Amino acid sequence: MAESFGVDAERYDRARPRYPDELVARIVTASPGRHLLDVGCGTGIAARQFQAAGCTVLGVEPDARMAEFARRSGVEAEVATFEAWDPAGREYDAVVAGQSWHWVDPVAGPAKAALVLRPGGRLVVFAHVFDPPPPVAAAFAEVYRRVVPDSPFDPQAAGNIADVYQAMFAKVGDGIREAGGFGEPEQWRFDWERPYTRDEWLDLLPTQGGLTRLSPDQLAEVLADVGAAVDAMGGGFTMHYTTLAVAAARS
């Protein structure tokens, strides 16, 4: 699944939310320099934000289609998983990963980051908490179970999505501690909002991992039911996002 997002790289780049400017600024300020490595860079969404903040960025991306899109958008990108990627002696002031670290080995990943970071450099892992309004989330869960009954993903089984992400980021911190080479990880939180129209939300949904490999008919059924739920709310809603980050300095 980690290499399935490139099925529609243009949609991914268009629909996926950007990261808070405060997060970008904090990473740049906390790092000893402005030479960054972006793990799982995708189409270059985060990388371009760091470039706009004055950084030079190299992306590492396992999906060749996503990496090619990143290159066309002005981001240098190499095709590899982070674990298999060859740094060739290169060093960085920060290693960042936006919406991608869950595809990286939780201990081998931090160990690789420690190898390429300068002393004092930062490993920063961050992701958005996607928590749409209850009617939209319920409609998605119902149609997803119907369309993909054998899927290992249950959109509602995990309970409060914020708690799920908190647990995931606690696990990231544990992996950093186990790998060694870093100071004590700290967690950052950024709260923000973004309004969505029906069409904007339905543009975003197919970029999510549980949907990237559905057939056109299955995807159309999911989008029709979720679209009806958004229509019932007046044709749009405001998403309350939380962007979480775990940061640790190379010792």
pLDDT in tens, 147-189: 988 876 666 554 567 778 888 899 999 999 999 999 999 999 9
Q: What share of the chain is helix, strand, coil (3-state, %, to 5)?
A: 45, 25, 30
Task: Give me the domain span that covers residue 90.
Answer: 5-132+159-196+240-249
Instruction: Look up residue 54 and give its DSSP letter.
Output: T
Encoded tokens for 164: 């799920």
Alpha-carbon distance of 71 to 77, in angstroms, equals: 6
Alpha-carbon distance of 67 to 5, in angstroms, equals: 11
| Residue 108 placed within a domain | yes
Alpha-carbon distance of 110 to 131, in angstroms, equals: 28
CATH at residue 31: 3.40.50.150
Predicted pLDDT of residue 210: 84
| Residue 110 placed within a domain | yes
Alpha-carbon distance of 114 to 250, in angstroms, equals: 6
| Residue 214 placed within a domain | no
Positions in the chain short of pLDDT 70:
152-160
Helix (H, G, I), strand (E, B) or coil at 81: coil
- pLDDT tens digit string along 127-151? 999 889 999 999 999 999 999 888 7
pTM score:
0.93
Alpha-carbon distance of 243 to 23, in angstroms, equals: 9
How many structural domains is the chain composed of?
1
Alpha-carbon distance of 39 to 248, in angstroms, equals: 15
